[in-house]
């Protein structure tokens, strides 16, 4: 049998690896869900037990106020006419709901459930069905967890390591090593590096599939390697940002004063400089990094899916869905024309990809403006004049004169 034909074989065997994703769904997401639930309950009770001393927890509304924190950000964004934050949140709503639905979907409706193939969008299947008869909406929801989790892990990795290494550059001996490391990483092209890494991983995956214990860990390992690799690419940016911010604030007068006052150096670095003065900038950069990670991850998925020799593995991701069966058919058989008949196969995943990336960018942008405004409102500010979005017109006119 020809190897091409083997790839094109339609049926449940092609999607055998998806079972691994089900393991992932059954184990990690409930775990994640329960941990966050426990933290939520713990913080809730902590607030209540402390309430006897502190007046701010006396009313019920005040006690549960932490639950409304995301909404309060949204409300103040609306108040401040910060359309970027609002737009960002609106665009991110699909992926957020899909991610949350992901948890339940894997219990309720496993992926193996199929109906008639290639149904156009209709009431029962709002996004239509696959050539295998799988609901597209369900595939999108499955892919959301994948996208969201990798972005989160990569950003967390870059952020935490970037903070630690960036703070460590204050010592001259370490600075040379860290900056050398940063420059080394900056020379690596991310996409090609990750393609190679994933190809190697796919090779080992084939060997390990037969072993029972390791095959259970493989899906986690895949996601871990993918996210750490992409996170590594954004590490230099975070390190340089943290270093620059710290060096800006460390030369200011109040640092000398605080040092002489007897505050330990560690507290000055982590609380006075990073915690109080640079954290906003770092968080804003982190959201931008997140959006870039999602972009890279999606293009990587697409590249992996397009080249069978690298291992056509992640068909569930949104980028993999863009590569529909007729596109693959055209690629493999060198057909000059593409068939646009089944438009629902690629339109809905593409919409989700676009909305997620633009949403993240907008959200990060709006968050930076929001932080500046909050700084102004709190009056804890270095500069009396910050750029404010809704007043840009007037500022610009006066700047010219």
Partner 1 sequence: MLNENFDRSETPLGGILLDVKNLSVYLRQDQNLREKLLLNRISFQVRRGKFTALIGRSGIGKTLTLKAIVGFLTPPDWRLEGDINLYKNGQKKIALLKNGRYLPDNLKALRGKTVFTIFQGPDSHLHPTLSIKWQIGEMIRPSKPWKNTGASIKKWLSDVGLDAGEAKKYPHQLAQGQRQRALMAMARGCKDLVMADEPTSALDDDTKKQIIQLFLNLRKERKLESLLLVTHDVNLIRSLFEKDDEIIILDKTDGQGVGVIDALDRAESELPDHIIESRKLTTRYVGEIPLVLKSHPLLNPRRIENMRTIVSSKSIGDVILQVKDLRQTYSHGMLKKPRVVLDGIDLDIREGEFLGIVGKSGCGKTTLIKSLARLLPNTQGRIFYCRPHRKPQENWKVDLIKIQPDGSKPDSPIMMELRKEIQVIFQNSASIFNPRMTIGEILTETVSTIFGVRNQNERRNMITRSLLDLGICKSEGDIEEILKKYPSELSGGEKQRLAIGRVFLLRPKLIFADEPFADQDIITKIEILRMMNRIRELNSTAFVIVSHERDLIAQTSDRIATIANGGIKEIMIPSHSNDLEKAEFS
Residues of this chain that interact with partner 1 (CB under 8 A) are: 53, 79-80, 252-254, 256-267, 272, 276-277, 373, 375-382, 384-385, 388, 391, 394-395, 397-398, 400-401
Whose Cβ is closer to partner 1: residue 112's or residue 394's? 394
Whose Cβ is closer to partner 1: residue 280's or residue 326's? 280
What is the closest distance, in whole angstroms, from the C-beta atom of residue 400 to partner 1 in the complex?
7
What is the closest distance, in whole angstroms, from the C-beta atom of residue 299 to partner 1 in the complex?
39
> Secondary structure of 255-291 in the HEC alphabet?
HHHHHHHCCCHHHHHHHHHHHHHHHHHHHHHHHHHHH
What is the closest distance, in whole angstroms, from the C-beta atom of residue 371 to partner 1 in the complex?
12
Instruction: List 129's β-bridge partners, or say none.
Output: 135
What is the closest distance, in whole angstroms, from the C-beta atom of residue 73 to partner 1 in the complex?
14
3-state secondary structure of 384: coil
What is the closest distance, in whole angstroms, from the C-beta atom of residue 276 to partner 1 in the complex?
4
Q: How far apart are CA 56 and CA 51, in angstroms?
A: 7
Element (H, E) at 201: helix 190-208
What is the closest distance, in whole angstroms, from the C-beta atom of residue 273 to partner 1 in the complex?
9
What is the closest distance, in whole angstroms, from the C-beta atom of residue 185 to partner 1 in the complex?
29
Do residues 268 and 276 lie in contact, with contact meaning Cβ atoms separated by under 8 Å? no
Q: Which of 233, 230, 220 is nearest to 154 (CA)?
A: 230
What is the closest distance, in whole angstroms, from the C-beta atom of residue 259 to partner 1 in the complex?
7
Q: Which of 338, 335, 306 is nearest to 320 (CA)?
A: 306
Q: How far apart are CA 170 and CA 179, in angstroms?
A: 11
Whose Cβ is closer to partner 1: residue 117's or residue 264's? 264
Q: How far apart are CA 143 and CA 151, in angstroms?
A: 12
Q: How far apart are CA 114 and CA 154, in angstroms?
A: 34
3-state secondary structure of 129: strand
What is the closest distance, in whole angstroms, from the C-beta atom of residue 278 to partner 1 in the complex?
10
Q: How far apart are CA 312 and CA 157, in angstroms?
A: 27
Whose Cβ is closer to partner 1: residue 116's or residue 398's? 398
Cβ within 8 Å of residue 275, ≥6 positions away: none
Q: How far apart are CA 296 and CA 69, in angstroms?
A: 30
Whose Cβ is closer to partner 1: residue 61's or residue 397's? 397
What angle, rounded to 10 degrees, do the helices at 212-250 and 18-50 form? 50
């Amino acid at each position: 049998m020809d190897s091409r034909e083997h790839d094109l074989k339609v049926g449940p065997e092609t999607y055998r690896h998806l079972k691994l994703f089900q393991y992932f769904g059954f184990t990690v997401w409930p775990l994640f869900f329960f941990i966050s639930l426990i933290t939520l309950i713990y913080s809730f009770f902590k607030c209540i037990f402390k309430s006897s001393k502190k007046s701010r927890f006396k009313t019920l509304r005040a006690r549960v106020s932490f639950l409304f924190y995301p909404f309060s950000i949204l409300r103040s964004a609306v108040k401040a006419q910060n359309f970027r934050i609002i737009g960002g949140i609106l665009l991110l709503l699909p992926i957020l709901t899909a991610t949350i639905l992901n948890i339940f979907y894997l219990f309720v409706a496993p992926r193996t459930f199929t109906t008639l193939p290639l149904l156009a969008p209709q009431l029962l299947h709002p996004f239509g069905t696959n050539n295998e008869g799988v609901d597209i909406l369900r595939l999108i929801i499955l892919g959301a967890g994948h996208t969201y989790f990798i972005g989160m892990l990569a950003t967390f990795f870059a952020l935490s390591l970037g903070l630690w290494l960036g703070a460590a550059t204050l010592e001259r001996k370490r600075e040379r090593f860290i900056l050398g490391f940063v420059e080394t990483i900056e020379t690596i092209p991310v996409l090609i590096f990750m393609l190679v890494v994933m190809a190697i991983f796919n090779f080992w995956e084939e060997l390990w599939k037969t072993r029972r214990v390791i095959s259970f860990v493989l899906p986690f390992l895949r996601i871990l390697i993918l996210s750490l690799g992409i996170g590594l690419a954004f590490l230099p940016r975070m390190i340089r940002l943290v270093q620059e911010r710290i060096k800006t604030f460390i030369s200011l007068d109040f640092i000398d004063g605080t040092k002489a006052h007897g505050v330990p150096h560690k507290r000055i670095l982590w609380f006075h400089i990073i915690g109080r003065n640079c954290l906003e900038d770092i968080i804003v950069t982190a959201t931008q990094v997140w959006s870039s990670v999602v972009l890279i991850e999606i293009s990587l998925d697409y590249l992996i899916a397009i080249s069978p020799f690298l291992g056509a593995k992640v068909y569930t991701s949104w980028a993999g869905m863009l590569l529909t069966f007729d596109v693959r058919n055209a690629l493999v058989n060198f057909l000059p024309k593409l068939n646009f008949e089944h438009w629902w196969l690629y339109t809905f995943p593409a919409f989700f990809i676009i909305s997620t990336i633009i949403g993240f960018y907008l959200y990060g942008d709006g968050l930076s403006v929001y932080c500046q405004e909050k700084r102004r409102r709190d009056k804890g500010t270095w500069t009396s004049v910050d750029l404010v979005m809704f007043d840009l017109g007037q500022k610009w006119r006066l700047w010219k004169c």
